[in-house]
Structure 1
Amino acid sequence: MEDQIHARMAKTHEDRKETFLALCEASSEDSMLRAVNRYGDTMFNEIQLARFVAELRALPPEKQNSTVRKLVAAAEFAIASHGYLFFEGMEHRNATSPPS
């Protein structure tokens, strides 16, 4: 979570099975979840976060794991703070190129 001047206020992490990212990648093209990119950074403002929270709450109960619940709480806090929710993507490396 970031405040209005983009200072980090709190941080959370994906679970080891990457269930949230899998959920995002399986979402429809017009979904806010689909906007979360595994490799690139993604930031939602409070207007986008309202839709993001609605989508997370509309998930079937079996998909609302601890990561989803943490993200709902983080998004609600960001909305209340007039802040942002920032998703930091992983650096994408081509499997055939050696690490630098």
Structure 2
Amino acid sequence: MEIHLQNSLHERISEKVGDDLNQSFLSLCREAPESSVLRGVQAIGDTMFNELQCRRLVDELTRIPEASRLPVIRRVTELALQASSCHGYLYISGD
């Protein structure tokens, strides 16, 4: 899984971030409630969040207890914040 930020022209504007060895981010997505935007992340295939969806994603990720926010989850939160502030996209490429 690779995660990165895209601008409004869908050009990659950040480094790629990968899930950790335990697939912590993917596990979080799979365990999320049905109504969660996290639940929309696909293990196989691509997922793209727009500016509005990124705001909701940030909201969901910041509700995770601080002790449970692993580095990959913190980095995804940062990228989603950047995407919402620059009118961009968070792009997640599954395997």
Regarding TM over 0.5, the answer is yes
Query: What's the secondary structure of 2:57's corresponding residue?
Result: helix
Taking structure 2 as the reference length, the TM-score comes to: 0.90
Aligned: 1:77 with 2:86: no
Query: What's the secondary structure of 2:18's corresponding residue?
Result: coil
Taking structure 1 as the reference length, the TM-score comes to: 0.86
In angstroms, what is the RMSD of aligned CA positions?
0.8
- Corresponding residue for 1:2? 6
In 2, Cα distance between equivalents of 1:28 and 1:63: 17
Moved over 4 A (4+): none
- Corresponding residue for 2:93? 88
Aligned: 1:55 with 2:60: yes
How far apart are 1:40 and its partner, in Å? Answer: 1.6
Stretches of structure 2 that go unaligned for 5 or more consecutive residues are none
Stretches of structure 1 that go unaligned for 5 or more consecutive residues are 91-100
| Amino acid aligned to 1:85 | L
User: Which of the two has greater strand per residue?
Assistant: 2
Among 20, 45, 58, the residue aligned to 1:40: 45
- Corresponding residue for 1:96? none
Structure ranking higher on relative contact order (CA contacts 8 Å, 6+ apart) = 2
Aligned length: 90
Flag the structure with larger Rg.
1
Choose 49-58 or 61-70, whichever is displaced more: 61-70
Identity of aligned residues (%): 38
In 2, Cα distance between equivalents of 1:29 and 1:62: 24
